[in-house]
Amino acid sequence: MNALPTTIRFERDTLQLGTIRYGEKRKVTFRFTNTGQTPLLLRDVRPSCGCTGAEWEKRPVAPGQTGEIKITFDPNSLGHFLKNIDIVCNIDSGIMKLKLCGNVIE
pTM of the model: 0.91
For 6-50, the pLDDT digits (tens) are 999 999 999 999 999 999 999 999 999 999 999 999 999 999 999
Structural domains in the chain plus CATH codes: 8-105 (2.60.40.10)
pLDDT of residue 82: 96
Contacts of 71 (CB under 8 A, 6+ apart): 15, 27, 28, 29, 30, 47, 52, 53, 54, 85, 100
Contacts of 63 (CB under 8 A, 6+ apart): 6, 34, 35, 36, 37, 38, 39, 40
